Chains A and B, each alone.
Chain A
Amino acid sequence: MENYLVMENVTKIYNNGIIANDKVNFSARKGEIHAICGENGAGKTTLMKMLFGIEQPDEGRIIIKGKDMHLNSPMDAIKAGIGMVHQHFMQVPTLTVAENVTLGIEPTNGIVFDMDKAIKMTTECCEKYGFEINPKAHVQDLSVGVKQKVEIVKALVKGCEILILDEPTAVLTPQETKELFVQLKNLRDSGCTIIFISHKLNEVKELCDRVTVIKKGKTIGVWNIKDVTEADISRYMVGVDVDLDIPKKPAEPKENVLVVKDLTVYNEAGKKKVDDVSFSVRKGEIVGIAGVEGNGQREMIDAITGLSKYSYGSITLMGKEVKDMDIKGLRTNGLVHIPEDRNLYGCARSMSIRDNMIADKITDPKYNNGLFINEKAIKEDTDKWIDEFGVLCDDGDQLVGMLSGGNVQKVVVAREFTSHSELVVCDQPTRGIDVGAAEFVRERMVQMRDQGKAILLISADLAEIMSLSDSLIVMHGGKINAFFKDVKSLTEEDLGFYMLGVKHMSEDEIRGALHE
């Protein structure tokens, strides 16, 4: 069968220097569902953005039906018969389905938007491909599953022959996923080429005809789905070099640093997000918190780090209640925090590396005599830290916003780990940064532990949380669902069961999380 779409030696380097795609080759045939697999950050979305004209390749060619294409905007891509369902929905919530579907190709009557015609176009397209959507409904009132269908219809109504779906099942329930697959197979059988991005391998296996694996911006290969097992794909995706065997002695925990007792947190809308949680973190241990996103970890960490208030229960840091402490108070009492969103909370992107590193220590008499700032001492120490933490930069005066993700995180880590600390809260400390930087951050965390700090680690990366944590708390539905005193014996599969709430531990076992 002939290739309908070919992307040849495509390279994309973002402004911040990240090589997201490095001579990637990808091709798809007419009427196939072609999977692109790869870890988070492998460059899948980037490749598709170039196909959809949102980004332009620095090198390489895109060929459709034998013709060289120059896709400078989504409009060009739409004209070339490409449709894309983005990872984050591209919808206008207060508009109706029909308005959203026809946006960009609005039917008109003079200057007037022809609503009846729009509804008709939407209905016809839905009927043709077997989608059930009410064209008059407002998008904001729809469930996620239906919103996704609207996205697909949006692409189909423009007559697309290549449909890109970027992680479409990430937000769907199992039932919705099943329904989506039936519809995608119908679409394929009617001649549409579908590019399906996912890292859920069972789905790829079930739905797709071929699979291309991308790893760190490079094509690893393309296979007929019949010829590979899930384990094979997984091996191609991850390779063997991500070995999280972090050298680490057994922990020697001492007295409690952080004690959380019967903590209950309501969010702004008055809904209970953390429900009667008790645990403690001791000197010289790493306590991990695992859980599917949205099970109360966020709210709990915000309460502990002073970013939001809590309603019931108590949090004590070094024996002092933190309820009425401000952030400064928390920090003087020994809290340091690597926040999840490093660009928003972790650093000031428009300030220099030096300023960012010194920001929390500027009141220290060493750097500030009450009137003037001691530039020399600041320069000396920040240069030392840049070196020690391996921040890749021209010099300390470079703006943090110019650095790559991994180096931004190193700046944050350098600031926090050189601050006076008893408790170190690490919230997704390696999310989205390169392997080298991630490894470095992990090693420093173990080092901090060995120096006798208490470490609380939240991570969505299961391999990371299982290999770093000394003991592990699993949260589900705002409660602690499991506590593992020793993580070594725990399997990933078992952890999954507790995270999804399939299994529960007894109250007695969970109580072990609080050392008294």
Chain B
Amino acid sequence: MGVITEIINTISRVVVLPTFYYMIIMSAAPILLAALACAIALKANAINMGTEGIMTMSALVAVLVSSSVGGQAKGGPWLGLVAAIIVGAFLGFLVSVFAFRLKIDIILVGIAMNLICTGASVFLMYVLTGDRTTTTSLSSGTLPQVAIPLIKDIPIIGEILSGHYILTYVAYILVFVMSFLLFKTKLGLRIRAVGENEDAAESVGISSLHIKTIALIISGALGGLAGVFMSECYLAYFSSGLIAGRGFVGLAACNMGSGNPGIIALCCLAFGIFYGFSNFATLSNLSIYALNALPYAVVLVGVVIYSVYTRNKELKRLQGLESEENLEYSQPAK
């Protein structure tokens, strides 16, 4: 009983704070970027399990490049951003090479990517900074925060919507860009065609290898962006465990939205609520560990609900098909 009262107390204390909503928007952004990375790959039926690893590696690269050119004062974070996107895109390309040219199961390639990137990032960090856990010794800096004119002056709303890191805004804008890319452009049409029926695409002269490779490169680049968010916005340094499963949470959100950017964004915001809560542990008597675990527990529940839902939908669809079949069979056979 005590726990429930405490939960209700915490919630009531937190939901009145504008910073809580600010935190939701911010916490959802890296997950959203990761989810969009997974989405374009999923639509091409080239599931990118390696997003977590790609995020890790590019987060580190961003910090290293930024500090090596002189950090904040010399525009380092921007160069770091570019470098991370390039590294991400390259890792995405590597996934496609292993999966489609060397014909290794794409799920295994993704898992290997995660393991290698996690290991390699710690190794690199140690070699270059002498520290095994964080890069706080480097001064890499952060990307700028943006105050939106007019909106920033509105009370409460201004506090919630304005003053985010630039990549937060980019993440939400990318939802629309991705929708446009997938559903309005020729490339998007081909990606969806290849993803759904590779043979059909091949039979009209589309190279599915080509399309899947492009999708994975874009996916990798987005994963790179998500990584930069963590090391140049969320924090101002890289640490082992920085990504903390956000790549996988993004993958979950992507699947719950079936790769459709709009729904994905909603799922990410929903997960963001719980990430938001975990930032307010000090306002609560609940265990900080429980609060930190909360987002992941919610993702798990979400995925279960989602799969039950899709199963039912699939059954309904099957039933629909069956009745169609009946129509055909009931034609007089003679």
Contact = CB atoms under 8 A, between A and B. Distances in A.
Contact of B193 (A84, A95, A108, A158): A95
Interface string A348-378: 0000000000000000000000000000000
A86 to B, nearest CB: 7
Contact of A91 (B190, B197, B324): B197
B199 interface: yes
On chain B, which size bracket covers the interface?
20 to 34
Contacts of A74: 202-205
B311 to A, nearest CB: 10
A103 B184 contact: no
Contact of A268 (B197, B315, B325): B315
Contact of A78 (B185, B205, B324, B328): B205
Contacts of B204: 74, 78, 90, 103-105, 154, 158
A111 B322 contact: no
Interface in A70-123: 73-75, 78, 84, 86, 89-95, 99-100, 103-106, 108, 111-113
Contacts of A73: 205
A476 to B, nearest CB: 9
A1 interface: no
A106 B206 CA distance: 11
B333 interface: yes
B189 A95 contact: yes
Contacts of A89: 200
B192 interface: yes
A502 interface: yes
Given A84-B203, A113-B184, 11 more contacts: A52-B203, A92-B197, A103-B193, A111-B185, A112-B185, A112-B186, A113-B188, A173-B328, A267-B322, A270-B315, A500-B334
A175 interface: yes
Contact of B196 (A93, A104, A112, A268): A93
Nearest 6 CB-CB pairs, A to B? A104-B204, A75-B205, A90-B200, A269-B318, A500-B333, A90-B203
A93 B322 CA distance: 17
- Interface of B, helix, strand, loop or mixed by DSSP: helix
A105 B193 CA distance: 13
Contacts of A93: 196-197
Nearest to A106: B186
Interface string B211-226: 0000000000000000
Nearest to B316: A269
Contacts, number: 95
12 contacts: A92-B192, A92-B197, A95-B189, A99-B189, A99-B193, A113-B185, A269-B315, A269-B318, A270-B319, A271-B319, A292-B333, A502-B333
B15 interface: no
A334 interface: no
A146 interface: no
Nearest to B323: A271
Nearest to A93: B196
Contacts of A175: 331
A173 B331 CA distance: 8
Given A73-B205, A90-B199, A103 B189 contact: yes
A477 B206 CA distance: 41
B189 A269 contact: no
Contacts of A90: 197, 199-200, 203-204
Interface in A327-345: none
Interface string B296-334: 000000000000000000010011011011001101011
A144 interface: yes
B79 interface: no
Given A73-B205, A173-B328, A113 B200 contact: no
A78 B203 CA distance: 9
Nearest to B330: A477
A106 B186 CA distance: 7
Nearest to B321: A269
Contacts of A452: none
B148 interface: no
